Amino acid sequence: MFAARRGLIKASFARVSAQRPVRSFTAAAVRFSSDHGNSEILQGLGGKPGRVPTNFEQSTGDERREYLAAMEGKEYFDLNPLELETKGTRQNPTIVPSGAAWRLVGCNGAPGEAHELMWIRVEREHGIDRCPECGNAFKL
């Protein structure tokens, strides 16, 4: 009984698979080295032979820029919180400094007000983004 069922199932699968057309599909994009802009590669000399390199010797990119700024006594990344003196409005929004297209901003109320911390994604293309709790306006 089971052998007969198994035979019927195999026959039906063979019929279905024979009817399916075969289609090829690729999702890769061809890129050439000329497609990328000329970007500056910032890297150190590396470690000397027979020696383990230091973090400064092997750092690249933003990490290296941070080390170089620290050697000059400056901070490459601004880690200080944004101090609000007035509530941002549409005419005079709170400016959030950023070199990126968007930035996450935590709002816990305009001066004189307080609410639970709300995270807002402030985007350059939006122009102005507002806190849904207090209405404070932010702009990149």
Per-residue model confidence as pLDDT tens digits over 106-136? 888 877 778 888 898 999 898 899 989 888 8
pLDDT of residue 26: 47
> Which of 83, 81, 90, 121 has the alpha carbon at shortest distance from 105?
121
Predicted confidence at residue 13, as pLDDT, reads 56
Beta bridge partners of 95: 139
Q: For the segment 30-63, what is each residue's pLDDT rounded down to a tens digit?
A: 556 665 566 677 787 888 899 998 888 888 888 8
pTM of the predicted structure, to 2 decimals: 0.51
